[in-house]
């Protein structure tokens, strides 16, 4: 109502001829009243708790969507990184390494390569180039390792990995800290087509 009176006063001041038409004034008053009612209802609704709650729920839902999108990006990166990981562990807890990595270490002239099989086995299959034979089945096999330094890299292997696994554990107890055992033994080495020297 105050809006209608104000607008009517403005019209009378600046356009006195315009208010001479009663029908025009009546239509204008109706338009102003309708507009005032609309504004009154609008502001009354927006101040209600229901409307405020609706806005809050909408804001929380939007934030949740944004959080999900941001969280999915690192996950995709992690997934991409996982595909680059090898299918197997290169070195396990018992120091066993696959033939490919064992062959790389054999090429190092500073390492000690030890074949723990019997001389008869070596004669039958051959030996990895550069290896020295210390028969694990002898009573003094541990004494023969005393000629090697405790911090020297030592590679051991046998036929399938049983004897070399036991020797690995005992050598660790003796203080040897840089030990590696051929995973699967000479059988795995031969299966990969790795070279051998005949004795």
Q: What is the pLDDT of residue 199?
A: 78
> What value does the mean pLDDT take over residues 20-34?
62
Catalytic (active site) residue 158: yes
80-105 pLDDT per residue, tens: 344 344 444 455 567 999 999 999 99
Q: What is the pLDDT of residue 49?
A: 59
- Reduce the DSSP state of residue 177 to 3 states and report it: coil
Given the structure tokens 């109502």, which residue do they identify?
1
36-48 pLDDT per residue, tens: 665 555 555 555 5
DSSP-derived letter for residue 197 is: B
What's the fold here for domain 96-191? Answer: Oxidized Rhodanese; domain 1 (3.40.250)
> For 74, what's the count of Cα atoms within 13 Å in the CB-facing half-sphere?
4
CATH 3.40.250.10 domain extents, the chain: 96-191
């Amino acid at each position: 109502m105050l809006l209608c009176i104000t607008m009517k006063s403005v019209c009378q001041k600046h356009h006195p001829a315009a208010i001479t038409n009663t029908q025009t004034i009546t239509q204008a008053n109706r338009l102003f009243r309708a507009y005032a009612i609309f504004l009154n209802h609008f502001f009354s609704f927006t101040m209600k708790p229901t409307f405020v709650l609706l806005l809050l729920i909408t804001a929380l839902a939007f934030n949740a969507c944004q959080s999900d999108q941001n969280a999915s990006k690192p996950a995709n990166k992690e997934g991409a990184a996982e595909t680059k990981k090898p299918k197997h562990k290169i070195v396990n807890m018992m120091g066993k390494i696959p033939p490919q990595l064992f062959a790389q270490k054999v090429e190092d002239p500073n390492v000690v390569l030890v074949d723990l099989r019997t001389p008869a086995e070596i004669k039958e299959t051959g030996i990895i180039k550069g290896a020295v034979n210390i028969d694990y089945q002898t009573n003094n096999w541990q004494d023969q390792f005393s000629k090697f330094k405790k911090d020297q890299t030592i590679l051991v292997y046998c036929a399938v990995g049983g004897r070399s696994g036991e020797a690995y554990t005992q050598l660790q107890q003796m203080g040897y800290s840089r030990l590696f055992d051929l995973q699967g033994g000479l059988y795995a080495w031969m299966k990969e087509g790795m070279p051998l020297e005949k004795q």
